Amino acid sequence: MWKEYYHAAGIYDFDYALQRLAMDPINHVNLKERWVDVPVYLEDDRCVVRVKAEGTTEKPVFSVMSDYDDDQDVIFEHIRNIFQWDRDLQDVQEFFEETDLAMLFFTYAGTPIVRDFHLYNALMKAIIHQQLNMKFAYTLSTRFVQKYGDQVDGAWFYPSPETVAELDYQDLRELQFSQRKAEYVIDTSRLIANGDLDLEKLAKEPSQKVMKELGKVRGVGPWTVQNWLLFALGRENLFPAADIGIQNALKRQWKMEVKPKKDEIEKAAERWSPYQSYAALTLWRSIEG
């Protein structure tokens, strides 16, 4: 067992990050004890890493621990990148204090971008969840992982692209996937397994190129690509104006009778650049629960 401590660069609401992670039944989270177990994929192995809050939002400190004794530096760097601890959220806070969202950021200070644990997992979840209500979306992704993935020390690992590539569409239909969704999940996994879609390489490209290239994949629309950019790559300047939750949050924020239109939202979002993703996360947070 090894254990290391890390101090985040600025304010950081880890308890809220845990609440968001706990929305997904696949994640192994303890809100009371303030920890999450992260499944980590190594080059030739896998391990589970526990990340625990040891401080407060104002003075955030985290412990990172694992029974896996090899590759400690690689593992720690991966965890640090997932939780974006080097991003000083005080800078974001001060930026929004000069905008029309100042009160929202005062109420929900230190809302971080927490990246999904793996690029492939994030894409599969986004494809499965698109155009579904949240409850059924998580039902489907949970069935998918529990049927074809693996559980290690309480933490679930998604199935590999190679495993999913070998499935028949009917296998997912039996989990209540629609025919098209089954095709999108399996066909995309086949592209990745065959080397025709390289997510690691794509992750290094500018957002516009990712939108163009990933958008060519059948069944991967703009919402899915934006979701992957934000939650898989942690891109800071994305604003999904077509998202229903964003529209509802701005309807409340702007005290409107009806939801604002997409072009109206996009124009307003220009004021929140280069931190549009934080605006989106904080707006979502304002209507949760």
**What Cα–Cα distance (Å) separates residue 253 from each residue in 71, 143, 177, 258?**
46, 36, 36, 12
CA 155 remoteness from chain centre: 17
Whether the Cβ atoms of residue 177 and residue 185 lie closer than 8 Å to each other: yes
* Strands of 127-273, DSSP E: 150-152, 155-157
Positions marked active-site: 243
- Helix count (H) and strand count (E) of the chain? 15, 7
| Phi/psi-derived region of residue 244, left when phi > 0, alpha when psi is between -120 and 50, beta in every other case | alpha
**What Cα–Cα distance (Å) separates residue 235 from each residue in 65, 82, 84, 166, 281?**
27, 12, 11, 32, 12
Assign 3-state DSSP to the chain and report helix, strand, coil percentages, each to 5. 50, 10, 40
d(CA 198, CA 191): 9
d(CA 125, CA 188): 12
d(CA 265, CA 283): 12
Whether the Cβ atoms of residue 22 and residue 81 lie closer than 8 Å to each other: no
DSSP state of 241: T
